[in-house]
Amino acid sequence: MRLILLSLTALALLGPACAQGQLLEDKPDELQEVGVDEKRGGQIPLNLKFRDENGRAISLADLFDGERPVLLSLNYSDCPMLCRVQLNGLTDALKQMEMTVGEEFDVVSVSIDPRESPQRAKETEKLYAGNYGRAGSTGGWHFLTSTQENITALADAVGFRYKFVPDRGEFAHTAAVMVCSPEGMVSRYLYGVMFEPKTVRLSLVEAADGKVGTAMDQIILFCFHYDETKGRYGPVARNIMSAGAAVTVMALAAGLLPFWVRRGSSASAATEDAAPVDTPDPQAT
């Protein structure tokens, strides 16, 4: 129970602070080595080997197909509380989004516990993917297990620092979701256990470089930037003014177009009326 409370403390303290690169002091011993060192723009090693929830041997390259962005989380099935709260919060956000797991994007949850079996991961997959339960999403949320070597390599690549506490048999860690490009580049970090659907959606659109989402999402991304201190997208006054000016110009052009068309037609008619009329030359007869 003490480790659970410590993990929740890490969630509250480490997420925003790590996003700002601040150092925390006076942390409990269990949390001294726990946190996230953001590595945005870094490449995930796609050659790492895992087993999915069905026991199938795969590499990360099988899941990062170059087409869909990926939400990556590091959890473990026997986590007493934090992982469950985080994955429930993520599921709630996904259920509120129009984008569908397995169609516009994938979710990959990797166990940080090398003792976890694919059978245990399958139970976890049924719980969360089943709770999501949207038509067309089957096979879009993957729960992976692997050796300590592969887990450590992935955690290091995304800057996810966690610690095993032997006397409790548990892992001290924080809660973070990495938003990755279809090619496996880390684009954004989302912290906490509750996620705004709009923030998740725009993060995916940004990571995919416009390959997913709508035209309106692209406009919103132009007008908003990600506020690291608040963990969500906020307005950018300059871009909003630019977008507003563009809309105003288009609206004026649309309103004046009929006038220009009528004016052009009238001018053309007047020119025809003023044109000289050919008359016979009397000397020619």
Q: Which residues are documented as binding site?
A: 79, 83
- What is the spatial distance between Cα 19 and Cα 228, in angstroms, rounded to a whole number? 6
**Is residue 34 within 8 Å of 10, Cβ to Cβ?**
yes
- What is the spatial distance between Cα 62 and Cα 42, in angstroms, rounded to a whole number? 19
**Six token digits for residue 104:** 């516009």
Region of 172 please: left (phi>0), alpha (psi -120 to 50) or beta: beta
What's the sign of the alpha-carbon dihedral 34, 126, 199, 159? positive
Query: Closest by alpha carbon to 91, among 52, 46, 132?
Result: 132
Name the binding residues for Cu cation: 79, 83
